[in-house]
Amino acid sequence: MSLLSNTGALLGKELRTEFRSLELLTTTVVFILVIIVLFSFTFDPTSSESRRFGPGLLWLAFLFAASLMLQPCFLREQTNDTLSALRLSVGDPFAIFLAKLCANTLFLLFTELLMLPLFAVLYNVNILPAFHWLLLVLFLGSLGVSLAGTALSAISAQARMRELLLPLLLLPLLTPVLVASTEVTVGLLDRNPYMQWKGVGFLATFDLVFLTALWLFGEHLLEE
Amino acid sequence: MAKHALGSAVVVLLVVAAAYGAFFIAPTDVRQGLIYRILFLHVSSAWTGLTAFFICFVGNLMYVWRRTPQWDWLGTSAAEVGLAFTTVVLVTGPIWAHPVWGIWWTWDARLTSTFVLWLLYVSYLLLRTLVEEPDRRALFSALFGVFAFLDVPLVFGSIRWWRTQHPQPVVMGGPGSSLDPTMWKVLFFSWIAMLGLMTLLLLARYKLEAMRGDFEVVRREAEAA
Amino acid sequence: MKNLDSVFAAYLFAWGIFFFYYLSVARRASALRDELKHLKDSLNRGK
């Protein structure tokens, strides 16, 4: 169980680092809020229109926020070359990814859960009837975003124009997540909420495929 | 040199023959008339583009495993060639759609998925221009290429599911929906011709990449001297 | 014949794309060949 204990220790470090300053979470939350407000100018936010467009805009906001929030993930390891230290301290480099993945998923979920009630109020959408299912979609979607984003941030951290590169690599890759999450959320925010298990299936498949890919290839992303 | 000229001649012949088949051998479609003949170009380009991206995927996997530059050269060449074929798909789609539907673009499942595919591999090539160090560039683009290709079935699947929720005009019906046996034969032959063209372009692009590799070696020698 | 021009346009665009791609590869190859020759010459002169 060395992988789990290493992951646990590294996850603790990630969480402690963030909760010391909270700068990543606060800026991400404010960014999502800005997008939600700006989106209101792009269509007439009546109740029925909001139910139609809202989920897509919400997930788009989450995706944009994630593509910015994930930038520092490996970038901050470049100062003082802490990545080398991390690599030396764990036997399996997958632990590093697993820890960052868990941390990023938690951060994303945290911002989404904060934004969801606000979105519900601003756009007159009722999130309570299917709230538990919404949690499931948020979790699977955020996991997918974190999986792809954590892997790609390791790449973009070592490239030029990284601020543009990460969104450029990440967003097309996340198309299935956006499509499936939006569709399922549309169903859950309907006046008579319904669950679309096929969409959940797509999300779960995406998560499984990319978790496996990260497990198989992750160590190469961290090579010297 | 002679082999290359012969190969090019064969490919050109195949492509012309395929066009002839599309215009004169394939029977006229009762519903769509003449315009459906773009199908032989559109669908065969789509299949060939996917074949090229599969070759890219193989090159990427082999590079991550073997770390010899030849696999990187193959991956990059196949990505570019695949992009050329995918561009043809995206251009012929609207040319088909406009006379039939009166609109240039319809977010139908296959066109939308192809657009995302196109964006994925454009990103792949852009990534290559933004990583300076050659070994790192090869490794990172190989890894992204693997992720991108694994994503392809998910992109196509999820978008197709999304479209069943919100039906739109479908460019050309499904491939294989109401194609008669002669049409199938012409389509298959068109695909063979396109594969020949793909091989030709791939070889030319691979040679260019190999030359770049040589250039890097000589340049390093010159810098050391 | 209705829509013949569209079908022709599609084939012309397609062949155009392939042709220009091939040209671009050939041009890049030629430029690289020249640069390589230039570099090798200067290397030999240095020796």
A199 confidence band (pLDDT: 50, 70, 90): very high
A173 confidence band (pLDDT: 50, 70, 90): very high
B215 in Cβ contact with C40 (< 8 Å): no
Structure token pair of residue A19: 């909760």
pLDDT at B173: 60
Contacts of B146 in chain A (CB under 8 A): 213, 217
- Within 8 A by CB and 6+ apart from B69, the residues are B138, B213
Rg of chain A on CA atoms, in Å: 18
Contact partners for chain B, using 3 or more CB pairs closer than 8 A, are A, C
Average pLDDT, chain B: 91
Nearest Cα neighbor of C21 from A61, B190, A183, B202 is B202
Q: Which of C4, C6, C17 to mutate to test the interface with B (most CBs of B within 10 A)?
A: C6
Cα(A42)–Cα(A39) distance, rounded to whole angstroms? 5
Average pLDDT, chain A: 91
Cα(B80)–Cα(B98) distance, rounded to whole angstroms? 28
The one-letter amino acid code at B68 reads: T
B42 in Cβ contact with B86 (< 8 Å): no
Nearest Cα neighbor of A182 from B105, B165, B118, B156 is B165
Structural element, H or E, at residue B205: helix B181-224
Of residues A83 and A155, which shows the higher confidence score?
A155
Contacts of B225 in chain C (CB under 8 A): 43, 46-47
- Within 8 A by CB and 6+ apart from A147, the residues are A101, A206, A207, A210, A211, A214
- Selecting from B127, B140, B155 the residue whose C-beta is nearest the C-beta of A175 gives B155
Q: B76-113 burial, b for 16+ CB within 10 Å, e for fewer?
A: bbbbbbbbbbbbbbbbbbbbbbbbbbeeeebebbbbbb
Mean pLDDT (whole number) for A70-82? 84
Structure token pair of residue C35: 């640069």
Partners of A173 in the β-ladder: none
Nearest Cα neighbor of B121 from B151, B160, B95 is B151
Query: Per-residue pLDDT tens for A128-167?
Result: 999 999 999 999 999 999 999 999 999 999 898 988 999 9
Cα(A111)–Cα(A80) distance, rounded to whole angstroms? 29
B212 touching C (Cβ < 8 Å): yes
Do A and C touch (≥3 CB pairs < 8 Å)?
no
- Chain centroid offset of residue C43 CA: 28
pLDDT at A59: 95
Share of chain A above pLDDT 70, in %: 100
pLDDT at B30: 75
Cα(A147)–Cα(A152) distance, rounded to whole angstroms? 9
Query: Can you give the residue ranges of every domain in chain A?
Result: 2-221
Of residues A123 and B86, which shows the higher confidence score?
B86
Q: How far apart are the first and last CA of chain A?
A: 26
- Selecting from B33, B204, B222 the residue whose C-beta is nearest the C-beta of C43 gives B222
Cβ-Cβ contacts under 8 Å between B and C: the total is 89
pLDDT at B81: 98
Q: Which of C3, C12, C44 to mutate to test the interface with B (most CBs of B within 10 A)?
A: C3
Structure token pair of residue B99: 């006379």
pLDDT at A1: 57
- Torsion angle of alpha carbons A97, A106, A11, B137, nearest 10°? 20
A163 touching B (Cβ < 8 Å): no
The one-letter amino acid code at A151 reads: A
Query: Can you give the residue ranges of every domain in chain B?
Result: 41-171+179-212
Partner-chain contact B165 A220, CB within 8 Å: no
Contacts of B219 in chain C (CB under 8 A): 39
Q: How far is A20 from chain B (nearest CA, A)?
A: 32
Backbone angles phi, psi at A195, to 5 degrees: -105, 135
Query: Per-residue pLDDT tens for B126-139?
Result: 999 999 899 999 99
Contacts of B144 in chain A (CB under 8 A): 152, 155, 169
- Within 8 A by CB and 6+ apart from B189, the residues are B17, B18, B21
B220 confidence band (pLDDT: 50, 70, 90): confident
Residue of chain B whose alpha carbon sits nearest to that of C34: B215
- If one counts every other C-beta atom within 10 angstroms of the C-beta of residue C44, the result is 8
- DSSP labels for B6-49? HHHHHHHHHHHHHHHIIIIISPPBTTTBGGGGHHHHHHHHHHHH
- Asked if the interface predicted TM-score (ipTM) of this complex is over 0.95, the answer is no
DSSP A19: H
Contacts of A179 in chain B (CB under 8 A): 158-159, 161-162
Query: Per-residue pLDDT tens for B67-122?
Result: 999 999 999 999 999 999 999 999 999 998 888 888 898 888 889 999 999 999 99
Mean pLDDT (whole number) for A30-57? 86
User: Quick check: helix, strand or coil at residue A85?
Assistant: helix
A91 confidence band (pLDDT: 50, 70, 90): confident
Compute CA distances A56 → A30, A62, A126, A199, B60, whole Å. Answer: 19, 10, 16, 14, 33
Mean pLDDT (whole number) for A115-130? 90
Share of chain A above pLDDT 90, in %: 61
pLDDT at B136: 94
Please give chain C's pLDDT, 47 residues, in tens.
677 888 999 999 999 999 999 999 999 999 999 998 988 888 888 77
pLDDT at B174 over 60: no
Residue of chain B whose alpha carbon sits nearest to that of A210: B147
